[in-house]
Amino acid sequence: MKEWERLTTVEEMEAATASLLENGKKVGADSWQQRVKNQTPHCGFGESGTCCRICSMGPCRITPKAPRGICGCDVHGIVARNYLRFTAGGAATHSDHGREICHTLYATREGGNYQVKDPEKLIRIAKEWGVETEGKDIYDLAHEVAEMALMEYGKPFGISRWLSRAPEHTRKLWHDAEVEPRAIDREVSQSLHMTHMGCSSLPEALIRQSMRAGLCDGWGGSMCGTEFSDVLFGTPKPVDTEANLGVMEKDMVNIIVHGHDPSLSEMVVFYAQDPEMIALAKEQGAKGINIAGVCCTSNEVAMRHGIPMAGNFLQQENVVLTGACEAIVVDVQCIFPALGPLSKCFHTKFITTSKIARMPDSEFIHFTAETAGEKAKAIVKMAVENFKNRKPELVNIPQIKQKATVGYSVEAIKKCLDGVTNSHVDELGTLKPLADAIKSGVLRGAVAMVGCNNPKVRPDYAHIELMKKLLANDIILVLSGCSAQAAAKAGLMDKAAAKYCGEGVRRVCELVDIPPVLHMGSCVDISRMMVLASDLANDWGCNISQLPLVGCAPEWMSEKAVSIGNYVVATGIDTFLGVDPYTKGSSEVTELLQGETGVKQWLEANYTVELDIDKLGDKMIERIEQKRAALGI
């Protein structure tokens, strides 16, 4: 086993958290660590998915003595309905984020708040969608494509436009399994219809729709989110940054951006660099303005601007507990309502900006595309003017941080590979060198590791330990979401970390000049991974399900994660979970998701749920080796 001495350990991160919790105690702050204690043990019915409350004859809870709900629904129907509703929640959330981005694209204009930063990508997508681009003003084109994208949400006929990016074989599987997503809103809405009292209770039908609802996210709403964010704000390319709480600056105004939609964070980042605002910060006694991120918003601005990452999901309270956070500015998703009362214990301004995520104890500054500039400036000003209210005796910034190189969009990965091999075949490059490295065994395979933190798993430990184990076994990683931030905090996104990996990973990293784990972005950016897998299968000449590639979400917690899991599986990629998705109460649903006769038969991949993290790693390695053996490599 190689030494990983350059890494920040989970123990060091936990020690930092402990010292911050002490800080919190001084002001009577609550914490998730305490609330977990209050909430455990969790309800066994909820955990196994066997409680139904979709009509007011219930709630019905299934036990050996009461094997059916009042309407007669059995445990399998109840578990499957709950699973589909969970998926629909996630698909709706990602897709609505994507919709907001489409609206932002529609609001672009020359010299306006929002502009087209990557016109080449816009033209590429327009051509993909059969739009005439010749001689067209780029903003006219942006509006036309944005409107087409918005129609994807509610078009009455046809299937998602984005499906044409998938290999022929995958599309046929989707068609034959009747899971091709149609309009995005239709799949979400139909999922709710199917799970209404007195509709579907047949597990197979509910799990098929769960796949379809997932696909409308990954190959629909999320893909809109990713692709048009690139058009608006630039397609990520490798950029250096830093990660962990040590990125907060004692002598500067610290503004934390948190949430998901880059439309907000991009503008806040822009106005934090405004000379007028910097001068104001200096007037207040600060050395300047420091922006850092939490959760997926952090991934977005790190990938495009190198903005440092203060932390991931279960670190969001920590940024306030430092006593050095002037403002935490949020939009949507994964925001703890706890931030309201917590910020009141400090001088921190908790600023909510979206009508979708309203919270008590916050200051609401409604942010829209039309008013983005003035609102972002007002937010930055509010933070700057709050610097003087800081209580120096409460300032405690743990001095831990690591260097990271982030920004590996599919385009960037291809460019890095091209740089080495000179195999430039077309405008967009090729993944052939990656395929060759895997075929030759220099790399054994790849893992897409994604997802959240969850107090049910020791935070970040599963992510980091699994990554180390896979890297030692010459398996390369692509990451997104809070998993990516776990890696960055540990130091695994520092190119220097390559030397601790297996011989093959080390050689590839040094040759291509990449870190051993590649940051592909936020959770909507898992759509990038779907494109990567599709292109790799095409360049390889095999099906996606044959590739020595698996997905993994060891610490997942959100509905979005289940929606993601479903579209990753439905795309032909076996997916490994470290937290149970509330399905263990039904043997039939478990078989459909994890066995050989459900999704595996329809879509050539399935789930593995394994709560022992070491075994989870072993199972992934075993699956990758099985795929290699089946390919004869």
443 binding ligand BF8? (CB under 6 A): no
**Cβ closer to ligand SF4: 54 or 531?**
54
**Cβ closer to ligand SF4: 53 or 388?**
53
145 binding ligand BF8? (CB under 6 A): no
Residues 64-103 that bind ligand SF4 (CB under 6 A): 69-71, 73, 78
Q: Is residue 260 classed as helix, strand or coil in its secondary structure?
A: coil
Min CB(58)–ligand SF4 separation in Å:
2
Q: Which of 456, 475, 633, 465 is nearest to 555 (CA)?
A: 456
| From ligand BF8, ligand SF4, none, interface partner of 53 (C-beta below 5 to 8 A by class) | ligand SF4
The two tokens of residue 210 are 């769960």
* DSSP code string of 352-372: E--TTS--TT-EE----TTTH
The two tokens of residue 440 are 């030759």
Contacts of 471 (CB under 8 A, 6+ apart): 477, 492, 500, 501, 502, 505, 516, 517
**Cβ closer to ligand BF8: 481 or 502?**
481
Min CB(264)–ligand BF8 separation in Å:
14
Min CB(556)–ligand BF8 separation in Å:
7
Answer yes or no: are the C-beta atoms of 435 and 540 closer than 8 Å: yes
Angle between helices 587-594 and 75-106 (to 10 degrees): 50
CA distances from 428 to 192, 228, 423 (A): 40, 18, 11
54 binding ligand SF4? (CB under 6 A): yes
Stretch of residues binding ligand SF4 (CB under 6 A), selected from 63-71, 110-118, 284-292, 529-537 = 63-71
Q: Which long-range contacts (CB under 8 A, 24 or more apart) does 621-625 make?
A: 621/444, 621/469, 621/470, 621/473, 621/475, 623/550, 623/574, 623/576, 624/444, 624/445, 624/447, 624/475, 624/548, 624/549, 624/550, 625/444, 625/548
Q: Which amino acid is at 126?
A: A
296 binding ligand BF8? (CB under 6 A): yes
**Of residues 482, 493, 550, 613, which one binds ligand BF8 by CB under 6 A?**
482
Min CB(93)–ligand SF4 separation in Å:
24
Question: Closest CB to ligand SF4 belongs to which residue?
Answer: 69
334 binding ligand BF8? (CB under 6 A): yes
Residues 551-590 that bind ligand BF8 (CB under 6 A): 558, 560-561
Residues 215-274 that bind ligand BF8 (CB under 6 A): 260
199 binding ligand SF4? (CB under 6 A): no
Burial 451-472 (b: 16+ CB within 10 A, else e): bbbbbbbebbbbbbbbbbbbbb
Q: Binding pattern to ligand BF8, positions 60-99, x when CB under 6 A?
A: ----------------------------------------
523 binding ligand BF8? (CB under 6 A): yes
**Cβ closer to ligand BF8: 313 or 461?**
313
Answer yes or no: are the C-beta atoms of 42 and 579 closer than 8 Å: no
Q: Which amino acid is at 396?
A: N
* Site residues (vs ligand BF8, CB under 6 A): 260, 295-296, 313, 334, 451-452, 481-482, 522-523, 558, 560-561
The residue ranges that bind ligand SF4 (CB under 6 A) are: 52-55, 57-60, 69-71, 73, 78, 197
